[in-house]
Structure 1
Amino acid sequence: MDLVLVWFIAIAILWTGYFVLEGFDFGVGVLLPSVGRNDTGRRVMINAIGPVWDGNEVWLITAGGAMFAAFPAWYASLFSGLYLFLLLILLALIVRGVAFEYRGKGDTDRWRAWWDRAIIVGSAVPAALWGVIFANIVRGVGMDADHTVTSGMADLLNPYALLGGVTTLSLFTLHGAVFLTLKTQGAVRGRARRAATRSAAVALPATTAFLLWTQAAHGKPWTLPLVVLACVSLFASVLLAMRRREGWSFTATAVTVLALSVALFGALFPNVLPSTTDPAHSLTVHNAASARYTLTVMSWVGVVFLPVVLAYQAWSYWVFRKRVTPQQVDPGSEDTTDHDPTAGKGTATT
């Protein structure tokens, strides 16, 4: 068995799972000021992702750890060359996590407003920068024979990477809006439905353009069906959201994120970090990989523990599957705006 290929696929799966699950978390945070117009609405939004957001970040930790162990040269070059972007993401995630925990510790509007801003920034920054980073990974960076990245900030902020940032930010925002229509009730649900339509006005053209550019410049014949699938499912998600088929709409946005991620990793393979200076300097799955013994040990650890983690996360999503209502976070609230005719239903439906 080619363990190098197995671990490249495993890392692609881990990153894909992270983008699908954490993507709607980021979207909810970005939409906090527009969909949650008062404290009750914002508490409904935060409670909708409260039981799962920290578990979703486990995918990021696992993906980073797998890259470090299976492809140390890839990890080293990536973090040395894109350290500023990655540092900003790390700081944003720290601030975001602290904000979720501390927002409810104070009783003043000013206290909550500052933590709300931290949630918004801590969600928007990673949502945009992950697109910039992965666009640069697929496109390639300047790299010498020692695999030291020589690209400056002007090179990294190229048009393709910037389009990637707009794509992930708008797509995750749409993903989060659809998630809120599935998981909330009342005024938040109505505003989230309208937010989905507005965010789709950016996500549809940006995602389509980015996917077509990726396919034309870096794609392979077998990645073309993934590009088509992503575009079709994205368009379908908007139509389904307008028809109030929230479950199917969320599934469609998840398929879009999944197909986009797999298409990027497919376009990247067999490289893990191409060199725009000289193709001979590129990092590939083989010259960046660890020894076979390391990959073997990692494989046995993954076989034992990965099913346990997946089962636990699936169980947590099942336990917290019901919609969040304003009355749950504030028993004295009267949610009379944006009347929803399905408000009496207690669970998320398709």
Structure 2
Amino acid sequence: MHLHDVWFVLIAVLWIGYFFLEGFDFGVGVLTRLLARNRPERRVLINTIGPVWDGNEVWLITAAGATFAAFPEWYATLFSGFYLPLLVILGCLIVRGVAFEYRAKREEEYWQRRWEWAIFWCSLVPAFAWGVLFGNIVHGVQIDAEKEYVGNVLDLFGPYPLLGGVVTLLLFTFHGAVFVALKTLGDIRTRARRLASRLAFGTAVAAGGFLVWTQLDGGGRWSLLALVLAVAGLAAAFGCNLAGREGWAFSFSGVAVVASVAMLFLALYPDVMPSSLDPAWNLTAENASSTPYTLKIMTWCAALATPVVLAYQAWTYWVFRKRIGTDSLSTAGEH
């Protein structure tokens, strides 16, 4: 295996980690309107992710930075061709972060209500948009011989990418509902489990259709294995949720997210961005990569820094592992 192949795998792992962690993060944001009945319950939901949401976004920053350094051609084509959708996502992430921090700075009802709506919409839009973008990356876009994207914004919204957006939105919301059931107490915990059960069927249908389409479009035996794991993970999460085993349900919903994203990268490889105009113009892990010397330096840096980051983030989740409910709001800090 060459270093460009290693870095394709590492970037895939970074995106998998991002969608696993930020997936339930986005899901909780969506649930602030679908599940919470009043402001105290919305505060409970926000507090479940308050200590960790910003750490989850580190995976996105690292994935983007690693793509820029390891695959500059991929980065250039991706960020120029998808400039407007990525700008929308970035704007949502900025507003969402500000909303988490500013919502509790004033006590006026209208002030908190507006920031809560910002959390909802700025969680829902990226959850959908990421699926659309990755659907385009896997399915192929209009790339010419100069490795330039020559389509327009409307070309990004075909049936396959739109289905991908629906899948990520449903999958993240299901993942978030299971996480809320794991992290809360009382009535909100019961309703989160009930909502997760209702979401499970629609998520399974949409995800199954999308992943089967992906497999038929260009998958192999490894992507087929990931498809089976994704479906099995959803089924197991549903069963564990019904049985009230929230920890196992969250683990299996995580398996579904991880396997689904892994399948996209397995179906994509060895390409990084296929051209829908001519297969000869595909961006591949080889022709889009940096020099071997650059990749070697990056590999050493990643080997030294990654264990520290993983250990710190694991410690953060351990520290904030306890359940919370509306009864604990008087002693819980605002996030």
Q: Scaled by the length of structure 1, what TM-score is found? A: 0.93
Matches within 5 A, 1:160-171: 160-171=160-171
Question: Which residue in 1 is equivalent to 2:101?
Answer: 101
Distance 2:331 2:200 in 1: 34
Deviations 1:212-247 (A, max 9, x none): 100011211221111011011102211211111101
Question: Which residue in 2 is equivalent to 1:24?
Answer: 24
Question: Which residue in 2 is equivalent to 1:236?
Answer: 236
Change over 3 Å in CA distance of 1:331–1:84 after alignment to 2: same
Moved >6 Å (runs of 4+):
none
Distance 2:150 2:195 in 1: 41
Distance 1:110 1:75 in 2: 41
Distance 1:34 1:267 in 2: 34
Q: Does 1:40 align with 2:40?
A: yes
**Contact kept in structure 2, 1:40 and 1:330, CA below 8 Å:** no
Question: Which residue in 1 is equivalent to 2:111?
Answer: 111
**Contact kept in structure 2, 1:138 and 1:218, CA below 8 Å:** no
Question: Which residue in 2 is equivalent to 1:342?
Answer: none
**Contact kept in structure 1, 2:137 and 2:274, CA below 8 Å:** yes
Deviations 1:107-150 (A, max 9, x none): 01111110001000110111001000001000000111111111
SS across alignment from 2:272? strand
Matches within 5 A, 1:258-297: 258-297=258-297
* RMSD between aligned residues: 1.2
Distance 1:319 1:156 in 2: 42
Amino acid at match of 1:220: G
Distance 1:187 1:104 in 2: 24
Amino acid at match of 1:24: F
Distance 1:9 1:324 in 2: 37
Return the offset for 1:185: 0.6
**Contact kept in structure 2, 1:141 and 1:273, CA below 8 Å:** yes
Deviations 1:158-185 (A, max 9, x none): 1000000000000000000000000001
Matches within 5 A, 1:115-264: 115-264=115-264
Amino acid at match of 2:240: L
Distance 1:44 1:285 in 2: 44
Distance 2:330 2:212 in 1: 46
Question: Which residue in 2 is equivalent to 1:343?
Answer: none
Distance 2:49 2:288 in 1: 37
Distance 1:222 1:300 in 2: 28
Return the offset for 1:329: 1.2
**Contact kept in structure 1, 2:28 and 2:176, CA below 8 Å:** yes
Q: Does 1:87 align with 2:87?
A: yes
Say how many residue pairs are matched: 332
Return the offset for 1:87: 0.6
- The gaps in structure 2 that reach 5 residues or longer are none
Distance 2:230 2:70 in 1: 29
Provide the identity percentage. Answer: 56
Question: Which residue in 1 is equivalent to 2:304?
Answer: 304
Question: Which residue in 2 is equivalent to 1:339?
Answer: none
Return the offset for 1:298: 0.6
Amino acid at match of 1:106: R
Amino acid at match of 1:239: G
**Contact kept in structure 1, 2:84 and 2:153, CA below 8 Å:** no
Amino acid at match of 2:215: Q
Distance 1:193 1:293 in 2: 50
Distance 2:84 2:257 in 1: 25
Return the offset for 1:84: 1.2
**Contact kept in structure 2, 1:7 and 1:70, CA below 8 Å:** yes
SS across alignment from 1:104? coil
Return the offset for 1:331: 6.1
- The gaps in structure 1 that reach 5 residues or longer are 333-350
Question: Which residue in 2 is equivalent to 1:320?
Answer: 320
Return the offset for 1:155: 2.1
SS across alignment from 1:20? helix
